[in-house]
Amino acid sequence: MSDAETLDSLFQSGRLLHPGKGSTSIVDFARDLHRLAGCERNDPVESRHDHGTTVLKDLANPKHLLFLLVDGLGMNFVESMGRDAFIPRHVVGEMRTVFPSTTPTALTSLATGKWPAEHAVMGWHTMLPEINAVSTIIRYQRYPDEVPLSRLGVKPKQAYPVPSLMPSGRSNGRGGGKGGRRTLYLVPEDIAGSVYSQYWSAGEVSRGYKSLDGAVNLVIRNIASASGPTFTYLYMPQVDRAAHDNGTRHEETLSALDQVDKAVERLASSLPRDARLIITADHGHLDAGPDEQHKLEPNDALLSLCLGPPSGDIRLMYVNVRDENIQKFRELVSTRYDEDFLVLTTDEAVEMDLFGPGALSPEARSRVGNLMVISTGRAVLDYRTALGLKAEGKATKRSHHSGLTPEEMRVPLLII
């Protein structure tokens, strides 16, 4: 059985989840959100992965539309919360994120309503042929020296080739946003005004917040002072950050989850009747123990078979391998990692629609190699030192995402 056939059998068994089959995708959701916010879309509603339903079909056009993105809040977190928690009591459905299940890729799908195959943000570490180097794409930097891509001649529209369709006052020059809505984008202070956040908000400059309570207060005041329709976006990374550092069941992570739950409840209880609050996540989380964390050093035998550096993410690695070395590469992965990883050709991945329906865009194709190594579960493959990262003193992350497991792929939909 080929690795592609093995992957298909894992999809059939439910051990892994295909991004475009079985549940509504966040891509479908994004398209509906854009339309609800009054943003014009020039693509057809239908796609091979649509399920004949409109995610937000029963939601009337509210005066105040709020969208909360809770980074890392997979359904596994929601299902672990107590009966008295606010979030589980308001889940109206479940969706499936994109692959790789990682923030840059998923957020770009939410901003554009496009699959990764088209928008070309292919993972945390995205290869950019323009500079012949790997980038930390969401930070708009070369990896690992953090040189801004602008200094290397890469413009934002090259890094992020598909425009964001989120509401923006810049779109009509009236400061009212697409559809006439006044917009507010709130993110933590450390990322406010970043190149990616400005791209994501379609040119709007995000406002930074110091605490969840402060963010909720800003939202409440903004809506109370508005005479016309509004659109508010609030990005909450607290659960994701805690899970990475401590693991999904650690008390610090559960505390972060509780704080988010209380903040959401306070915000919901403060909204006027003509407001609607929509909440989802970009991905879930899955712990990886010490024996499940594998590292590739610069002189690793696997990488010696590759042309150029690896890229992708922690549970998905893109590589370029000479044709005459492909079989040796496959055998080495199988011998070393047994069933923890599968090796697919890019053509096989495209045929399976792993990155969305249809062919890869020219930009997406140029950013991946001819092979990819995909985790089948908890195992991760950390190649950062092979890219030049100095790992001394850096703590090992306890939980990760970017794979195809249910823990990573299932995300909630809340409408309040």
pLDDT of residue 396: 86
Transcribe 137-171 into DSSP letters: GGGTEETTT--BGGGGT--HHHHS-SPP-S--GGG
Q: What is the pLDDT of residue 172?
A: 38
**Superfamily of domain covering 24-43+60-287+405-415:** Alkaline Phosphatase, subunit A (3.40.720.10)
One pLDDT digit (tens) per residue for the chain, 416 residues: 999 999 999 999 999 999 999 889 999 999 999 999 988 666 554 444 444 446 787 788 899 999 999 999 999 999 999 989 999 999 999 999 999 999 999 999 999 999 999 999 999 999 999 999 999 999 999 999 999 999 999 999 999 999 999 998 654 333 444 458 999 999 999 999 999 999 999 999 999 999 999 999 999 999 999 999 999 999 999 999 999 999 999 999 999 999 999 999 999 999 999 999 999 999 999 999 999 999 999 999 999 999 999 999 999 999 999 999 999 999 999 999 999 999 999 999 999 999 999 999 999 999 999 999 999 999 999 999 999 998 765 778 999 999 999 999 999 999 99
Rg (the chain; Cα; Å): 21
411: left (phi over 0), alpha (psi -120 to 50) or beta: beta
Domain ranges (residues) in the chain: 3-11+288-400, 24-43+60-287+405-415
pLDDT tens-place string over residues 213-245: 999 999 999 999 999 999 999 999 999 999 999
From the list 317, 404, 370, the residue with the least C-alpha distance to 122 is: 317
Confidence (pTM): 0.95
Alpha helices in 141-298 (DSSP H): 156-159, 195-200, 212-224, 238-246, 251-270
Quote the pLDDT of residue 49. 46
* 3-class SS of residue 230: strand
pLDDT value at residue 43: 59
**Cis peptide bond N-terminal to 44, omega within 30:** no
- Rounded to whole angstroms, the Cα distance separating 241 from 245 reads 6
Dihedral sign (CA 47, 78, 57, 172):
negative
**pLDDT (0 to 100) of residue 42:** 64
Residue 360 is classified by DSSP as P
Fold of the CATH domain 3-11+288-400: Gyrase A; domain 2 (3.30.1360)
SS3 label, residue 237? coil
